[in-house]
Amino acid sequence: MLDWLWYAASFVVTLGILVSFHEFGHFWVARRCGVKVLTYSVGFGKAIWSRVARDGTRYQVGIIPLGGYVRMLDERVDEVSEQDKSVSFNAQSVYKRFAIVAAGPIANFILAVAVLWLMFGIGVPTVKPIIGDVEPGSIASQASFVEGSEIVKVDSVEAYDWQQVQLGLMSAIGNDQLSITVRSPDGELQQKTLNIQDWQFDPETETTFGSLGIQVYRPNVSTTLAQVVDDSPAQQAGLQTGDKVLELNGQALESWQTLTSTIAQSAGVELRLTIERNGVTQKITVIPGERERGSDVIGYLGIAPEVGELPQGYVFNHQYGIVGGLVKGAEQTWELMVVSVKMIGKLITGDVSVKNLAGPLSIAEGAGVSASSGFVYFLSFLALLSVNLGIINLVPLPMLDGGHLAFFIAEWVRGKPVSDKVQDICYRIGGALVFALMIVAISNDIMRFAF
C-alpha cells in the first residue's frame, strides 16, 4: 500500500510537470500572437486553487490531475464584443493558429532537452553494455557474439549503457534485420548483422537483449564466504569467513544463486552443507532464519560471497559540461523522438502488439520506481514521458493537437476552413479512437497488476 501511495504521488508530480510545460507552450505562443487567454489550468474539474492575474487570465489547479488546458477567447464558443474580436483565437491567421497549437508538443520536446541537459550535467552512474553469457542456439549465438564484447551501437543508436541498448532494440522490433556494432575483448570493432524475422519478445517477462540471448556481464561470484554476519544463523551454525561451500543437501553446489534461492525457500528448514576450510572438508547443518519481504516470509543465513573484480572502466559516471550536456540532451531527445514515431508506426501496422500500451498504473509505477532509484533516473523517465507526450499529441487525430494541425494544413491548401460538419464528424471518430486506446491501455494495466 505504501508503495502505491508513493507511486501515486510520483505520478501526480510527473504529470503535473509535463502538463504544465505542454500547456505553457500553447499559452506563451498565444500571448505572443495577441490572443486573449481566459484560463490556464493544470488538471481538470473543480479548481482547488485559482487566481485571476492583472492580465485577466485565470490560473488554476484542477482537482483531477490527469491533464490540463488553455482556454482562449473564441467566437465559436464565446460571446465576443466587437473590440475583442481581434484577440480571439478564430480571428487569427492560419499560420498563427498553427503555431499556437504546435507549441504544446514543441514545449514537451524542449522540456526533454532541458531535463536531459540537467541529467548529463549532474552525471549518470552507469555500466558499459558488456556482454556476459550468450545463450546457445539464440539469435545472438547465431550471429557469433562472444562474452566480454562491448556493445557500441544498435542500428543508429549510440549504446553507452544498457538503457540505450534497450532503446535501439525497441526501435528494431518488426524489422527483418538488425545491425549491432561491438568492440571485441581485444579492442577490434565488429559489425554484427542479426536475422530477427522470427524474434519473439515478451516485455512482461524479459528484456529485449535477453530475448536475443544476450545476458549482462557480471563478475564471477564464487561459493567462498567473504562475510558471515555476527549473531546470524550462519555464525551460530559455525560457518566462518573463507569457508567454501561444496555441497548442498548432498548435491554438488554449482553456483551461489542455487544456494541463495534454496535458503530463501527454506526458512526454519534444516540444510546440510559440505564445506572446505583450510583444505579440510567437513559437514555443517544450518537452519535459515526468517525475514519478511513484503507479504512473504523468506529464509536467510547472513552470509555473503567473494565476488570477482569488474573490468576497468566498466562502471563510469556519464557526465558532460555545459555545452556538451546540451548537445547530448538534444541528441538523445531526437533519438527518443525517432523511436517513439517508429513504435507508433509499428502499432498501426501490427508489428508491435497493443498489449504493449501502458496505462496510468504502469506510468505511475514507472514514475515511483524511477524516483526511488534517484533524481537522475527520475529525470531520465521524465524526459522519456515528455517526448512520448509530445509525439502522441502530434498524431493527426481530432481531439489531439495533431488533429487540429491537420485541419489547419487543409485550410492552408484549400484557402478556406474545413466545414464545421466535417470537423464534427472527424472529432467524433477521433474521440472514439482515443477512448478505445485508453480502454486498451487501462485493460493492459489491469491484466499486468491483477494477475
Does the pLDDT at position 352 exceed 70? no
Q: What is the pLDDT of residue 169?
A: 85
Q: What is the pLDDT of residue 40?
A: 92
Cell numbers placing 438: 485508453
Q: Which of 23, 150, 335, 365 is catalytic?
A: 23
**CA-CA distance, 290 to 264, in Å (whole number)?**
9
**Fold match between domain 125-216+309-318 and domain 221-307:** yes
- Dihedral, CA atoms, 335, 341, 344, 346, nearest 10 degrees? -80
Region 399-412 average pLDDT: 90
Among residues of the chain, what percentage have pLDDT more than 90? 29
Does the pLDDT at position 386 exceed 70? yes
Could you tell me if 323 and 151 are in contact, meaning their C-beta atoms sit under 8 angstroms apart?
A: no
Q: What is the pLDDT of residue 144?
A: 87
Region 31-47 average pLDDT: 90
Determine the Cα angle at 339 with ends 27 and 207, to 5°: 125
Q: What is the pLDDT of residue 104?
A: 94
The greatest distance separating any two alpha carbons of the chain, rounded to the nearest whole angstrom, comes to: 100
Find, among 226, 228, 244, 240, the residue nearest to 281 by Cα.
244
Sequence-separated (6 or more) residues with CB below 8 Å from residue 281: 246, 274, 275
Find, among 238, 235, 255, the residue nearest to 246 by Cα.
255
Beta bridge partners of 317: 125
Does the pLDDT at position 363 exceed 70? no
| Most confident by average pLDDT, 22-26, 81-85, 87-91, 292-296 | 22-26
Q: Is 23 a catalytic residue?
A: yes
Sequence-separated (6 or more) residues with CB below 8 Å from residue 374: none
Domain 221-307 part of CATH 3.50.50.60: no
Residue environment code for 363-389, b if the CB has 16+ CB neighbours within 10 A, otherwise e: bbbbbbbbbeeeebbbbbbbbbbbbbb
Sign (positive or negative) of CA dihedral 21, 26, 29, 30 = negative
Compare 36 and 311 and report the one with higher pLDDT: 36
* pLDDT tens per residue across span 261-288: 888 888 888 999 999 999 899 999 999 9
**Structural domain spans, the chain:** 2-33+92-123+380-450, 125-216+309-318, 221-307
* pLDDT tens per residue across span 46-82: 889 999 988 889 999 988 877 888 999 988 888 888 8
Find, among 54, 55, 27, the residue nearest to 41 by Cα.
27
Which contacts (CB < 8 Å, 24+ apart) does range 366-369 have? 367/7, 367/10, 367/11, 367/13, 367/14, 368/3, 368/4, 368/6, 368/7, 368/8, 368/9, 368/10, 368/11, 369/7
Mean pLDDT of the residues in the chain? 85
Cell numbers placing 402: 495533431
Rounded to two decimals, the pTM is: 0.78
Q: What is the pLDDT of residue 359?
A: 59
Residue appearing with cell numbers 506563451: 28
Does the pLDDT at position 330 exceed 90? yes
For residue 348, count CB atoms less than 10 angstroms from its CB and return exposed for 0-12, middle for 13-18, buried for 19 or more.
Answer: exposed
Spacing of C-alpha 320 from chain mean position: 22
Beta bridge partners of 72: 37
Which has the minimum average pLDDT: 248-252, 321-325, 330-334, 362-366?
A: 362-366
* pLDDT tens per residue across span 127-163: 888 888 888 888 888 888 888 888 999 888 888 888 8
Which contacts (CB < 8 Å, 24+ apart) does range 229-232 have? 229/302, 229/303, 232/289, 232/300, 232/301, 232/302, 232/303
**CA-CA distance, 115 to 106, in Å (whole number)?**
14
Question: CATH number for the 125-216+309-318 domain, one of 3.40.630.10, 2.30.42.10, 3.40.50.620, 3.40.50.300?
Answer: 2.30.42.10
Model confidence at 94, in pLDDT bands (50, 70, 90)?
A: very high
Q: Strand 177-183's sheet: what is its strand order? A: 157-158, 150-154, 177-183, 189-195
Could you tell me if 131 and 207 are in contact, meaning their C-beta atoms sit under 8 angstroms apart?
A: no
Region 336-351 average pLDDT: 81
**CA-CA distance, 118 to 386, in Å (whole number)?**
15
Model confidence at 253, in pLDDT bands (50, 70, 90)?
A: confident
Region 182-193 average pLDDT: 88
Does the pLDDT at position 294 exceed 60? no
Sign (positive or negative) of CA dihedral 387, 388, 393, 394 = positive
Does the pLDDT at position 111 exceed 90? yes
Q: What is the pLDDT of residue 103?
A: 95
E strands, 161-259, are 177-183, 189-195, 214-216, 221-228, 244-248, 251-252
Q: What is the CB neighbour count within 10 angstroms for residue 110?
A: 17
One-letter amino acid at 374 equals: G
**DSSP class of residue 70?**
E
